[in-house]
Structure 1
Amino acid sequence: MIMARDDSHLPEKLRGLRIPLIGSPLFIISNPDLVIAQCKAGIIGAFPALNAREGEGEPPLLEAWLKRITEELDRHNQDNPDTPAAPFAVNQIVHRSNARLERDLEICVKWKVPVWITSLGARVEVNEAAHSCGGVVLHDIINDTFAKKAIDKGADGLIAVAAGAGGHAGQQSPFALMREIRAWFDGPVALSGAIASGEALLAARALGADFGYMGSPFIATHEANADEAYKQMIVDSTAEDIVYSSLFTGVHGNYLKGSVERAGLDPNNLPEADPSSMNFSSGSSKPKAWKEIWGSGQGIGDVKKVTSAGALVDRIAGEYDIAGRRLAAEFAT
């Protein structure tokens, strides 16, 4: 049993989760199977709009994905009124090289996407599009300056990407980043950075975050669209097996050292890259030469096996409950 928590201060679409957790959108890996499983398990599931890539001349795959996710979650809610699914989120890459952005915004408005996650640029018109269909916008940031810009441009909440997160991670300690944000902002905040256990989720809440933001453990799930070798490397690796580099996209991120070595590179001597080399025109910021350089956060030492997304959420929920009760007992009078 999960302890009761007051989420009445949050926008309605962010309330009522089984546990306060968002499954972060994973490039290529997050697909409808994973998102639906996450939402049915009681947490917000998310995918990058750019993951839905159709062939030339084919209808937009993003529309087909949104139709399937919306209809399947609706059926689940009708069949399970006492345990409805959590809402889903779509991640929009708001980078100047994303030529699909305008089209994808229109499709997401049409399907009334409930939660929008924006990355790599805060733009007023994107937030306005989300709000036009009742969506809630969470913008990911790596420092307090970017956080203030995002809120000034109309985002409803923030995703604080701290040190240890997978993908394009920041370098600031979650302790510092969360306290600086909470000094001026009382809206929704999710914290990212090695969130891979119920204890880590509880720590994020103690720092002032409304949600944990967890990605890497979901790579090692049956539903994830990841190579089986990638899933096994997540299971076999620990924080010591993560390398922080800008070489592969132009922006610093965390990657599995084993995948870097398999590409014939020395993970301890990687050159720096120019940030201007980042380009999403083909759907990814990573050139095809680096497609098997696999991203991961530092929390993967908690991932012991490949399992279903639902079983992973069950594990996190159980650990979160036990850790919370242990601390509550310490403070009981």
Structure 2
Amino acid sequence: MPTIDPLARFRDRLSLPLIAAPMFLVSGVELVVAACRNGVIGSFPTVNCRSSEQLDQWLTDIDIRLKAHADAGGKPSAPVCANLIVHRSNARLEQDLMVLLRHRPEMVITSVGSPAPVIGPLHDAGALVFADVASIRHAERAVAAGADGLVLLTAGAGGQTGWLNPFVFVRAVRAFFDGPLVLAGGISDGHALRAAQALGCDLAYMGTKFIATRESMANIRYKELLVASTADDVLLTSAFTGLQTNMLRPSIEAAGLDPDNLPLRGAIDIGKDIDIGARESRPKRWKDIWSAGHSVSGVTELLSVDELVARTSAEFREAAARVRPG
């Protein structure tokens, strides 16, 4: 652990060393609020908002609802964490950043690019900046840029995924970085969460299981498909985004495509994320063709966030009790 623990400012507000992962078109106000009031860091991509103005509204609404929870005698809430896409393709980057600075978040996760341009302003606003990385080289660059922590995207994560084995990735990064690490990929229950902690991580992402909660924005058919699927139904393909992405085979088949005969890199002419006119009937990635991580095998029923966190906490305690000295 680092000499000064960056997470000390809110560790005592966490019921679990867990982040409800920021998921495109899934993570919204309801999911974030439910996670935070249960002692789990609630995160969401800023691009889930239709505009920077709506981002401001979301953050205000979340703050009001968590304050009401505290005023009613609830436990102190875990931090709210925005996920900021820092790639040049995000036309709203500057506007979304300005909104975040006004709200002074405790924690921000950057994705798809170097965090360097936003670290200074976010630090000035009091935020910890974690960088989402998928390779050792990118981890080294993020540390050199001044990131407070790293999210290690490993093989088995849902959506656009990493490719490194989590055991190898965590230990390789721990060789040069003693700051906070977050393991992303394969966290399906409290036992896996305890294993991530034993491996050397401070926190972990849980994504797929939060998709199948009542509070997520996911389509009910998507949630039901997660319950019906196992890790054998997850297909790693670059056909839809041009990047290696874990998608659900049954949703590909339902879209009239053959999962075993897909082009190699982003060549499928399907609808964009938001479509109009004649292309409206075409299947849309993320909206009709759905992603899941390998942890989908752990999704056995639809739960509320309250129920999911309570179950995960019990599993985490059970896993910790099984580790005995000697």
TM-score by length of 1: 0.89
Equivalent position to 2:325, from 322, 325, 331: 331
Residue 203 (structure 1) shift: 0.8
**Alpha-carbon distance change, 8 to 238 in structure 1, aligned in 2, over 3 angstroms:** farther
Equivalent position to 2:41, from 44, 50, 57: 44
Partner of 2:24: 27
**Alpha-carbon distance change, 187 to 14 in structure 1, aligned in 2, over 3 angstroms:** farther
Q: Percent identity?
A: 41
Find the aligned partners of 1:266 and 1:87 in 2 and give their Cα distance.
42
Residue 75 (structure 1) shift: 2.3
Residue 237 (structure 1) shift: 0.7
Equivalent position to 2:109, from 114, 117, 120: 117
Residue 78 (structure 1) shift: 3.1
Find the aligned partners of 1:281 and 1:96 in 2 and give their Cα distance.
18
Partner of 1:128: 120
CA contact (8 A) 2:255 2:283 kept: no
Partner secondary structure for residue 67 of structure 2 = helix
Partner of 1:3: none
Find the aligned partners of 2:311 and 2:4 in 1 and give their Cα distance.
26
Q: Give structure 1 stretches of 5+ with no counterpart.
A: 1-6
Find the aligned partners of 2:80 and 2:105 in 1 and give their Cα distance.
7
Residue 159 (structure 1) shift: 0.4
Partner of 1:99: 91
Equivalent position to 2:289, from 287, 293, 307: 293
Count of aligned residue pairs for this structure pair: 314
Equivalent position to 1:149, from 137, 141, 151: 141
Partner secondary structure for residue 235 of structure 1 = helix
CA contact (8 A) 1:235 1:306 kept: yes
Equivalent position to 2:212, from 204, 220, 230: 220
Q: One-letter code of the match for 1:31?
A: G
Residue 13 (structure 1) shift: 4.0
Q: Root-mean-square deviation (CA), in Å?
A: 2.3
Residue 130 (structure 1) shift: 1.3
Find the aligned partners of 1:318 and 1:66 in 2 and give their Cα distance.
31
Partner secondary structure for residue 66 of structure 1 = helix
CA contact (8 A) 1:166 1:254 kept: yes
Find the aligned partners of 1:164 and 1:241 in 2 and give their Cα distance.
12
CA contact (8 A) 1:99 1:281 kept: no
Is 1:252 the equivalent of 2:247? no
Find the aligned partners of 1:274 and 1:14 in 2 and give their Cα distance.
41
CA contact (8 A) 2:37 2:78 kept: yes
**Alpha-carbon deviations, 1:149-191, whole Å to 9, x = none?**
1111121100011111101111110010000000010101000
CA contact (8 A) 2:214 2:303 kept: yes
Partner of 2:279: none
Q: Segments of 4+ in structure 1 off by > 6 A? A: 280-283
Q: One-letter code of the match for 1:70?
A: D
